[in-house]
């Protein structure tokens, strides 16, 4: 096997935000820390740091972003015990210090005409769109009043409480379901990786603008494994040209890691070169400072 050589992180640290499983007490927000972007240790003994009190009181697929003046977490508002066709909203929080999370808000997408019959609003993520001075939030949508596959939609928000009318962003030309989109900007292009829900692999498309159109390659699967994966998350190893993609091995258990420098060609990372052995599920990554790292470690500990 031709493995990627782990890049050497130059400054900064990594915060992994994730949930644990399909039981209600596992559908909570957890944090893990890393100094190098490859080896992660859970905070608080792998116990949740946020307990949801609104909506379904359960969340999945948490995504964390550094906003203009605070941090935000957005997640799927869903209790899997209620069924996989039971959710139509997201839940959001904000924080100024990564420790105290307030302003919990549930956003029900049944308020919009275009998603008034949605039974899946999954895996919301966000990027700041400097051209609009607003946050671009994207997520998977399934509406029960049409026969279209699951596809990726988007909406804009300034406060993660109020959202514009959603619009479709991308649907694969093969007509198959697409979920778990993750968009990374590099060198003026936007690379979207998503799960092909039929093949259970991760595919990639690219656009010149955040709103698309996203172009498909003839063979656009980018995973280096034949195992079923989802919850893909890509992040830069600070101070290098290397980007790591982690994926949830939701059937076999554990995580899979691969690496790229050009966003198109990936190599697997040797399992001996990374560790995420605390059974995380679909999550997201945030670069944090030494002060932020030390504050979290001091208050919650490993």
Give the CATH number of the domain where residue 262 resides.
Answer: 2.115.10.20
Degrees, nearest 5: CA angle 168-87-80:
130
C-alpha to C-alpha distance for 243 and 185, rounded to whole angstroms = 11
The pair of structure tokens assigned to 97 is 């210090």
The pair of structure tokens assigned to 185 is 């900007």
Q: What is the total count of domains within the chain?
A: 1
pLDDT-derived band at 218 (thresholds 50, 70, 90) equals: confident
> Does any domain span residue 3?
no
C-alpha to C-alpha distance for 28 and 58, rounded to whole angstroms = 6
- Can you give the pLDDT at residue 1? 79
> Does any domain span residue 62?
yes
pLDDT digits (tens, 9 = 90+) for 81-93: 999 999 999 999 9
In this structure, what are the phi and psi dihedrals at residue 99, rounded to the nearest 5 degrees?
-110, -50
Using DSSP, state whether 94 is helix, strand or coil.
Answer: strand
C-alpha to C-alpha distance for 296 and 257, rounded to whole angstroms = 25
C-alpha to C-alpha distance for 168 and 191, rounded to whole angstroms = 17
> Does any domain span residue 9?
no
> Does any domain span residue 4?
no
- Can you give the pLDDT at residue 141? 98
C-alpha to C-alpha distance for 234 and 115, rounded to whole angstroms = 28
> Does any domain span residue 140?
yes
pLDDT-derived band at 253 (thresholds 50, 70, 90) equals: very high
What is the Cα gyration radius of the chain? 18
Mean confidence (pLDDT) of the chain:
97
Tracing tokens 């596992």 back to the chain, one arrives at 26
pTM for the model stands at 0.97
Burial 131-140, CB ≥16 within 10 A → b, else e: eeeebbbbbb
Domain that holds residue 123: 15-300
Degrees, nearest 5: CA angle 142-148-153:
50
Is there a contact between 126 and 63 (Cβ–Cβ < 8 Å)? yes
pLDDT digits (tens, 9 = 90+) for 145-161: 999 999 999 999 999 99
CB atoms within 10 A of CB 66: 15
> Does any domain span residue 2?
no
278: pLDDT strictly greater than 90: yes
pLDDT digits (tens, 9 = 90+) for 13-58: 999 999 999 999 999 999 999 999 999 999 999 999 999 999 999 9
> Does any domain span residue 56?
yes
pLDDT digits (tens, 9 = 90+) for 174-190: 999 999 999 999 999 99
120: pLDDT strictly greater than 90: yes
Q: Which of 101-105, 110-114, 216-220, 237-241 has the lowest mean pLDDT?
A: 216-220
C-alpha to C-alpha distance for 92 and 52, rounded to whole angstroms = 10
Using CB atoms within 10 Å of the CB of residue 44, give its burial: 0 to 12 exposed, 13 to 18 middle, 19+ buried.
middle
Beta bridge partners of 204: 193
Q: In terms of Cα–Cα distance, which of 219, 237, 230 is closest to 252?
A: 230
- Can you give the pLDDT at residue 280? 97
Q: Where are the beta strands (DSSP E) in the chain?
A: 13-18, 30-34, 41-42, 59-66, 71-77, 89-95, 102-108, 118-129, 134-143, 151-157, 167-170, 178-186, 189-196, 201-207, 215-221, 230-236, 243-248, 255-260, 266-268, 283-288
> Does any domain span residue 1?
no
């Amino acid at each position: 096997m031709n493995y990627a050589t782990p890049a050497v992180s130059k400054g900064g640290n990594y915060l992994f935000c994730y949930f644990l499983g399909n039981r209600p007490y596992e559908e909570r927000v957890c944090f893990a820390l890393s100094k190098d972007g490859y080896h992660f240790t859970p905070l608080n003994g792998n116990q949740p740091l946020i307990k949801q009190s609104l909506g379904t009181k359960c969340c999945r697929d948490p995504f964390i972003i550094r906003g203009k003046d605070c941090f935000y977490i957005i997640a799927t508002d869903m209790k899997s015990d209620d069924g996989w066709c039971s959710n139509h909203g997201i839940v959001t929080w904000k924080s100024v210090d990564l420790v105290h999370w307030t302003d919990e808000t549930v956003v029900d997408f049944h308020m919009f005409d275009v998603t008034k019959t949605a039974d899946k609003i999954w895996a919301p993520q966000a990027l700041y769109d400097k051209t609009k001075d607003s946050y671009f939030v994207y997520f998977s949508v399934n509406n029960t009043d049409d026969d279209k596959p699951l596809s990726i939609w988007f909406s804009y928000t300034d406060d993660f409480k109020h959202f514009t009318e959603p619009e479709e962003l991308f649907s694969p030309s093969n007509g198959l379901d697409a979920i778990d989109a993750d968009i990374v900007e590099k060198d003026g292009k936007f690379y979207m990786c998503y799960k092909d829900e039929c093949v259970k692999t991760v595919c990639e498309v690219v656009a010149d603008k955040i709103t698309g159109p996203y172009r498909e390659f003839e063979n656009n699967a980018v995973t280096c494994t034949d195992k079923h994966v989802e919850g893909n998350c890509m992040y830069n190893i600070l101070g290098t040209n290397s980007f790591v993609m982690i994926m949830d091995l939701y059937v076999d258990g554990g995580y899979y890691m691969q690496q790229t420098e050009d966003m198109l060609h990936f190599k697997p990372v040797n399992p001996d070169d990374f560790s995420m052995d605390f059974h995380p599920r679909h999550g997201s990554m945030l670069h944090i400072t030494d002060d932020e790292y030390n504050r979290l470690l001091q208050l919650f500990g490993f």
